[in-house]
Amino acid sequence: MQQRTVITGGAGFIGSHLCDYFVEQGHDVVCLDDLLTGAASHVEHLLGNPNFTFIHYDVTEYIHVGGRVDNVLHFASPASPVDYLEYPIQTLKVGALGTHKALGLAKSKDARFLLASTSEVYGDPQRHPQPEDYWGNVNPVGPRGVYDEAKRYAEALTMAYHRYHGVDTRIARIFNTYGPRMRLYDGRALPTFFRQALMGNPLTVYGDGSQTRSFCHIQDTVRGIALLLDSDQHDPVNIGNPDELTIRELADEIVEITCSDSEIVYQPLPEDDPQVRQPDITRARQVLGWEPRIDRREGLRMVLEYFQRAVNQEAEQQNR
């Protein structure tokens, strides 16, 4: 029988790729998004499809979906540091109230539930790389606390619904992901560097650029999430690419790949910016048989075309 899958935040970066994936898999997909940081254009191409429904909705309010539901994927949330600092209350609300409503929907429909959690639950980690049994080092009252604590609370609520209501839950701890549909101005390092390099502007590296991240291509991320949904794993699973590099190295690679002559400039490091980040994906390998397939350099070259198009569109709009 055809599966029916509700995706909150379905017009966001990761959410919209999940909509594509599950429509492709033959699911009937219901996408809920209030378009705070998502964009209708991300799912526009699916609108005529009988297996896709878009509902403009804020999931911190009671969620009503008529009929059967087999899966609820909760991906609604501002997710880039710039976004969640601009929308701190909305971020806390969607992590807390939104997760509650999405879990309530899953419970009432007897559906599987998957929470989009994050490597931010590890904060500025004192264990490296980060396995799932590391509890993290988060400043609850710092500026990033609004996202980190919202997601930590969301994980706690998800486990409580699993333990006390028997909801069939999954938790994906998603590390830095990149791919088409990232907004040029979402403030994250990778799209910012592509935009700056392609526009011939200086690349803004924060701090001395020695902080590290590990970037996973969206195709690998989506495949990992789909495998997790199909698994019986209720404990959190890291989904990320362990290939770690410094932010300075990322900037250099993007300058090279874009054949840009932009220089690199240094700006102050944001408060509580994690010094290192690298997923330990032993659990994902063992329980999902998953690991990333797309090497970073290959992935960066794959995404170049998208950023070039986005920058051209931006230039056209400015010239109008």
- In the list 37, 91, 176, 219, the residue contacting ligand UDP (rule: CB under 6 A) is 176
User: Is 192 an interacting residue with respect to ligand UDP (CB under 6 A)?
Assistant: yes
CB 55 within 8 A of CB 15: no
Question: Residue 91 or residue 211: which is nearer to ligand UDP going by CB?
Answer: 211
Instruction: Compare residues 35 and 264 and give the one whose CB is closer to ligand UDP.
Output: 264
Site string for ligand UDP, 290-319 (x = CB under 6 A): ------------------------------
Is-contact 16 221, C-beta < 8 A? no
59 binds ligand UDP (CB under 6 A): no
Cβ–Cβ under 8 Å, residues 153 and 136: no
**Which residue, chain included where needed, has tokens 């300075």?**
248
Residue in 4, 42, 109, 213 binding ligand UDP, rule: CB under 6 A: 213
The closest of 151, 93, 125, 133 to 283, measured between CA atoms, is: 133
**Minimum CB–partner distance for residue 269 and ligand UDP (Å):** 6
204 binding ligand UDP? (CB under 6 A): yes
The enclosing H or E element of 244 equals strand 244-246
129 vs 313: CA distance, rounded Å: 39
266 contacts ligand UDP (rule: CB under 6 A):
no
> How far is the C-alpha of 235 from the C-alpha of 312, rounded, in Å?
43
Q: Is 254 in the site for ligand UDP (CB under 6 A)?
A: no
Residue 247 sits in the site that holds ligand UDP (CB under 6 A): yes
Task: Provide the minimum distance between the beta carbon of 111 and ligand UDP in the complex, in angstroms, as a whole number.
Answer: 30
* Residue 84 designated active-site: no
Give the nearer residue to ligand UDP in terms of CB position, either 7 or 276: 276
Rule CB under 6 A: say whether 206 interacts with ligand UDP.
yes
Does 273 contact ligand UDP by CB under 6 A?
A: yes
Query: By three-state DSSP, how is residue 175 classified?
Result: coil
> At its nearest, how many Å lie between ligand UDP and the CB of residue 189?
3
- Taking CB under 6 A as the criterion, the residue among 116, 189, 294, 303 binding ligand UDP is 189
Query: Quick count: other Cβ atoms within 10 Å of Cβ 245?
Result: 15
Residue of 84, 87, 122, 147 marked active site: 147
- Told to check if 195 binds ligand UDP by CB under 6 A, we report no
DSSP 33-56: E--SSS-GGGTGGGTT-TTEEEEE
Of 9, 81, 125, 179, which lies in the binding site for ligand UDP, with binding defined by CB under 6 A?
81
**According to the binding rule CB under 6 A, does residue 183 interact with ligand UDP?**
no
DSSP state of 137: B
Distance (Å, rounded) from C-alpha 59 to C-alpha 93?
A: 9
CB of 196 to ligand UDP, least distance (A): 8
Nearer to ligand UDP, 65 or 92 (CB): 92
- What's 172's DSSP letter? E
Please state the closest distance from residue 281 (CB atom) to ligand UDP, in A: 17
CA distance 191 to 179: 9
Residue type, 226: A
Neighbouring-strand partners of residue 33: 56
The token duo for 307 is 């950023």
Q: Smallest distance, Å, CB 152 to ligand UDP? A: 15
The yes or no reply on residue 205 touching ligand UDP (CB under 6 A) is: yes
Contact 94, 154 (CB under 8 A): no
How far is Cα 214 from Cα 216, in angstroms, rounded to an integer?
A: 7
Q: Give dist(CA 277, CA 178) in Å, integer.
A: 15
Where along the sequence are the contacts to ligand UDP (CB under 6 A)?
80-81, 176, 187-190, 192, 204-206, 211, 213, 247, 269-270, 273
Task: Give catalytic residue positions.
Answer: 147
